[in-house]
Structure 1
Amino acid sequence: MSVTHEPKLISGNANMPLAKAVARRMSMHRGVNVGLVDARVERFNDGEIFVEVFENVRGEDMFIIQPTSNPANDNLMELLIMADALRRSSAKRITAVIPYFGYARQDRRTKARTPISAKLVANMIVEAGIERVLTMDLHAAQIQGFFDIPVDNLYASPVFALDVMTQFRDHLDDVMIVSPDVGGVARARELAKRINAPLSIVDKRREKAGEVAEMTVIGEVTDKICVIVDDMCDTAGTMCKAAQHLMDNGAREVHAYTTHGVMSGPAVERITGSVLKSMVITDTIQPTEAVKNTPNIRIIPTAPVFAQAILNIWNGTSVSSLFETPTLEPIYEGQFGT
């Protein structure tokens, strides 16, 4: 039986536009058509998921593109069932490309009798026959250790750095990178180092989950262009309160860069009515029409970096090279306008 010598992509329903964009980028790189494997991922009337692959995948290097975003359980089950279908069809290797890894916030026991759901999900992914995971900006870096298979965790900060240096090129000396909490300092520091900017922290204290009781700004933000950096924006409550608090402390203007635009519930309404001059998200989660139509939200594509990472994995070359600006600049050439 002959096999092709190109990586093969397959996608669930979680973010089909991203999967098609990755396929297009890979086609440009390879000079041959890299399309999505013809398959159907459907539901029976009772909600059960059914997968059928219409192409031969025996001996192929398969990449499943499927973020486990809302609805998290449905999209996770699609991923697992697609992996099982490919494994039973004798695929040579199965890599899960999970741009947004759901359940990542449950990475430790915060109190008695609570689960570590991220570890459970990792176990399920491995048991389904997936041999490698490619993701972006895990909520907690230690989640890589939950897997007994290789995990490549890409970072959005190198891409954000290119955008910041383009958008604020005439005012870079006034830019202040801000972490919205103490736990995100490492992520914010990484971006600050890349653009040679100072770092500030908004220390928040919660009375209960989802509600912030008190905020304190650590660092001098007076007359600064503050750029809040976070890995995800869910209901946007904390983000908008942090932006307002920075303005109250003398910031000239506030912008936000967040990798995963979860955008649940009142998020769009809050961002629209907030003091945020702009908010930049990526398309790791498929944006809704409301998000796309919000004037102060801008979306940066991740297809260029995921396409290159997939090719590097397939070729057996370095994925960490994508963390370097000289590698990323040609990949994103022409993407960042003024």
Structure 2
Amino acid sequence: MDTDRERHSARETAFYLFTQQSLPACKPVLTPGWVIAIFLFMGVIFIPVGLVTLRASHCVVEIVDRYDIDCVPESSRMDKVSYIRDDSIPKNCSRFMKVHKYMKAPIYIYYQLDNYYQNHRRYVKSRSDKQLLDGQKYHDTSSCQPVESNNNRPIVPCGLIAWSLFNDTFEFIREGAELKVNRKNIAWKSDRGHKFGKNVYPFNFQNGTLIGGGKLNPEIPLSDQEDLIVWMRTSALPSFRKLYGRIEEDLDVDDVVVVNLTNNYNTYSFGGKKKLVLSTSSWLGGKNDFLGHACVFVGCSSLTLAIIFMLLHVKYRRPYGDTSYLPWNRKSFSG
């Protein structure tokens, strides 16, 4: 009986300690000294990291050219949608991009789309990952609506994402010589190897009355059509860039690159913008100042708070653990 009572009492004691948050635990006490030291440490760490990140971003050379308006003839600029939908009108256009700073190879070519909501719920869902991997062996493509089939035959790849494939093309010339564009390995290796079938070929694609974007070569498997793979990885933001290829030659200062492009893709019906981007890279990737500015802001804010707390601690120093500063004790003293 005594043993049972002891066990019951021990359980009650443990339960009491648990409910009263009195179990043995690490309970750091944030004294003014510790708080000031933590903010100083954050400032010392974040400011140099931010400055290094900004320097890496500023080392990236980038040329951006918006071409969607200038590549429409002046006579058609009042009705751009009709112009882009008229297949009888040639869409060839030439642009000139001057290099203001030495660009070391590889030079990455991106196309940038603005005001294009690839994250729209219906758009994102309109695809079949199993069909991309297994082809016509997989028959349940209801998720691809409204681009699921045509003339009672399945479409491979199905869905709105594939149907709206970007189809502007670019050719680059410097001093009369063509700059070769490497379009291999522009997609993620995991996507090529595990998400798109090596024995899956386009079938009945863009054969309907309403044509969306680009067409696919029916003799090349989906795993090798990297422009499609890049496009199928949808963006979370309405402004995004996608990799088109790489120029594996250096560009010198004052070089003029002539870009012969075909302005096929329709962004005029929804007020979108199209831009061509040439960019180098650093050890941190492409040009992005946000991370550096964020680190510097956090570091400066931490240092400012540390100085403020230090001045307050020096001016209004009081002994640690003085219960007279508790609110109820203040009331009793004042009464």
- TM-score, reference length from structure 1: 0.23
> By percentage of residues, which structure has more strand?
1
Higher relative contact order (CA 8 A, sep 6+): 2
